[in-house]
Amino acid sequence: MIALHDRLRGGMWGLLVGDALGEPYVGLQPEEIPPEGEIDMKGPPGEWVAVVPPGTWTDDGAQALCLLDSLLTCGRFDPADFAARLIAWHDEGLWTVDGQAFGIGWQTKLAIQEMKRGVEPERAGNVRPEGKGNGALMRVLPLALWHRGDDAALVEDAHRQARVTHGHITNQVCCAVYCLWARRILDGQARGEAYEGAIAALRGLYGEDSPYRRSLEQEVRPDDPPVTNGDGYVVHTLNAARLALEETSYERVVRRAIQLGRDTDTNAAVAGGLAGVAFGASGIPERWRRQLRGRDMAEPLVESLVRWRLGS
């Protein structure tokens, strides 16, 4: 039985390691990705030029740390505080390894501009009403790890954190699915059982005839076999995690996510966070944890999360 503290640490380190592992392969087509056994922090062989040093987390990891920092500081989800941290990330490099934000998604950038103009945080994500990118899903895991409320409260906060940058209902639904799935894995359920339980719970919370339920059934289509081309569409990213979580170890999960190509850092961060919860921090290869840049900076925040959840 994997201990709760190991699962909590595993979730955060799994997200950060997956993000850093996937970063060198961003934009590559699946056929350009090296074989599974050759995927590593150093990136693909050949004439590829690194954007950042190997082992660096991207906007995915930095925004997740902003969210966790906000939750631990405020003791609740506070959209204004979270928005301020996103702005500080964008402008000042908060929770980046080298003090400068990079990899900023277009919708996130526009939403931050809206918030800097004074738009309320939970309305800023409507700057592109039809936008369905994965920028809210990629960072939401800390909410599930931190949350002590019931499923209804967790779902509402998952919706609210999405609305800060990605207001479309489908983005909110995918974040809710992911949080309920992560919660059940954190409680020790098997990955498949946890996913099925999350969907059943969400259907009960959404009822029969709400726009959220319609999005769940008609766009997310949670009972269908997962289909993805590895791109940044939020449903494809959730499906990438569903596919990758079929694997038998953290290492195999994140490598499978990367082999999907295209948005490799986010696919590996989203899948890697869940895999870290499932297999624990002890299941993440030590060599990858050593190669992760900024780990000394992130560790106190991760340990604060553990103390919060354990009540110590």
Give the Cα separation of 135 and 66 in Å (integer). 13
Give the integer Cα–Cα distance in Å for 42 and 37: 13
Binding residues for Mg(2+): 58-60, 263, 265-266
Token pair belonging to 74: 């405020």
3-state secondary structure of 51: coil
Please enumerate, by residue number, every residue annotated as part of a binding site.
58-60, 263, 265-266
Cβ-proximal residues to 33 (8 Å cutoff; 6+ apart), any chain? 25, 39, 44, 258, 259, 261, 264
Measured distance CA(215)–CA(224) in Å, rounded:
14
For residue 279, count other CB atoms closer than 10 A to its CB: 22
Tokens linked to 201: 């719970």
- Distance (Å, rounded) from C-alpha 244 to C-alpha 62? 23
CA distances from 116 to 90, 97, 109, 112, 126 (A): 11, 24, 11, 6, 15
Rounded Cα distance between 238 and 174, Å, is: 7
Buried b (16+ CB within 10 A) or exposed e, 65-75: bbbbbbbeeee
The identity of residue 232, as a single letter, is G
What tokens does 242 get? 């569903």
